Structure formats: C-alpha cells, structure tokens
Amino acid sequence: MSAFSEGWVGSQSILVILAHPDDPEFFLGATIARWTHAGHRVSYCLLTRGDKGANDPTVDPAELSIRREKEQRAAAAHLGVQDICFLDFSDGCLQPSMEARRTVTRVIREVRPDILVTCDPQNMFPSDNNINHPDHRAAGQIVVDAVFPGAGNPMFFPELLAEGLLPHLVKEVWLSLTAQANTVIDVTPYWPLKLQALHEHDSQIPDHGKLVERQRSRRTPDSTDENPRYEEKFKRIVFLR
C-alpha cells in the first residue's frame, strides 16, 4: 500500500470538535498523533464534560465531570495536544439548536483553523452491534452547520462581529465515525500512542485488559496478530474556493 499524504503545504491548524472527553482518542487518536508528529497544531473543543459517563447512580456528576476533564488532558498530552476547551453543554442533552450553533461558530472564528474535524451526523448505526450515541450525531450536526453557513458568512450571528470575531472559512472538514469514508489512513505506527491515551480515561474503562484486546482486534483483515495493521477512516470534504 502506498503511503497516504494529506497533501497539505506547511503546518496546519487542526480543530477537533466532538461531544465527550475520550471521543477524540477513540475516534481518531492515532491520526491525531500522526498529525502532531508531522508538525501540525491540533486543539480540542469538547461540547460536554461527560457528566453522565457512569452506570453507578451514586456517582456525583459534578465530580465525574472534573475527573473526566483531568483524564482528557492527560490523554491528549500523549498525542501531542495541549490546547483543550470545554463548552459545558449537558452530557446526553446535545441538540442542534441555534444556541449551540452560535457557540461553536464563535469557537471556529476564535481559533480560525485550517482543518476542522468532527463526527458524521448521519451515522446512527456504526455497526450491527450498537447504536451511535445521540450526542455524537448532534455534535456532528452542530459543527457542520456552524461551518456552513455560520462561521464564514457575516450575515449570520452579527453579534459575533460586534465582538470582533470576523468570518472564517475552513479549508476542509473531516468526519470521523462515518459509514461513508472516502479517506483511509494507515496509522499503525501511532496505534501504541492511541492505546496509551485511551488508558488515561480510567473512569470509562472497567477492564484495561479488555480494552487492549478490543483495540488490537481492530487490525485490518489482511494483517495478522503478529504483524497487525491499523487504519482510521474519514469522510473528507475539501472546499473549493
């Protein structure tokens, strides 16, 4: 297989906007490591702090959100990411509302990324064995709608102009967790870093051994346990200007 190239010239600013702590690592952790090792600047914006990420009803959501923020920062550090913001929407309650779109538009205009990454809002059934979390789908819809037309059109959210936040056009959108992939990256060299990052999300992992087993089972069908190969897949949208 020939080596994949994004075709970018120079260092890119890449903004990853997803719903929960741990989503970046699970969805595209190895690709994030690939990008930072190539000299690109990656930052995260998470719409929630994951305050419902527990099956024990005695867990305090406020304490859980603090714990998950710490876990997320530790995980991101393994992948070369230091810049992380949280928007404090309630876990499990994301809706593609105008309020959410405005908030994400503000972030895009503040960060002014070249590349924006989120997840596919159309992917309700990622496999035959599970249903996609509604927050994942809502996050993707919010971000896609913020990119177009919100972030780039001065007629949308004029109150942001009053704050000095000028319109911004991203070059590309990458959708992770998609069933419509048009871009496949061999991330085998970065899979160990993805695993290291995932292990930091201790509140979400009852059995670290099983986590490793599941992640190793994701090797490509044409590889072996002795010589595994791993891929991460995306729907890549490159805008023509």
Query: pLDDT (tens digit, 9 = 90+) per residue, 72-86?
Result: 999 999 999 999 999
The pLDDT-based confidence of 240 (bands split at 50, 70, 90) is: confident
For residue 2, what pLDDT is reported? 56
Residue 92 counted as domain residue: yes
Residue bearing the bigger pLDDT, 54 or 222: 222
> Torsion over CA of 125, 130, 135 and 140, rounded to 10 degrees?
-30
- Average pLDDT of span 190-202: 96
In a domain, 129, yes or no: yes
Backbone angles phi, psi at 212, to 5 degrees: -60, -45
Mean pLDDT over 91-106 rounds to: 96
- Provide the pLDDT for residue 127: 83
pLDDT value of position 55? 81
* Residue 227, in any domain of the structure: yes
Residue pLDDT, tens place only, 40-74: 999 999 999 998 988 888 889 999 999 999 999 99
Report the distance separating Cα 76 and Cα 109, nearest Å: 23
Residue 47 falls within a domain, yes or no?
A: yes
Q: How far is CA 167 from the centre of its chain?
A: 23
Q: How many domains does the chain have?
A: 1
215 Cβ neighbours under 8 A, 6+ residues apart: 191, 194, 195, 198
Whole domain around residue 43: which residue ranges?
A: 13-238
Q: Which residue has the higher pLDDT, 150 or 2?
A: 150
Percent of the chain residues topping a pLDDT of 90? 88
Report residue 173 as tokens.
């959108």
Mean pLDDT of the chain: 95
Q: Which of 52-61, 115-124, 230-239 has the lowest mean pLDDT?
A: 52-61
Residue 7 lies in a domain: no
> Quick one: average pLDDT of 161-166?
95
* pLDDT of amino acid 108: 98
pTM of the model: 0.95
Read off the pLDDT band of 219 (50, 70, 90). very high
Residue 1 lies in a domain: no
In 38-179, alpha helices (H): 61-78, 98-111, 134-145, 158-162
Q: Which residue has the higher pLDDT, 234 or 130?
A: 234
Task: Kindly state whether residue 2 falls inside one of the protein's structural domains.
Answer: no
pLDDT of 167 strictly over 70: yes
CATH number at residue 230: 3.40.50.10320
All residues at 6 or more sequence positions from 95 whose CB lies less than 8 Å from its CB, including other chains: 138
Confirm if 181 and 237 have CB atoms less than 8 A apart.
Answer: no
Average pLDDT for 220-238: 96
Residue 148 has pLDDT above 60, yes or no: yes
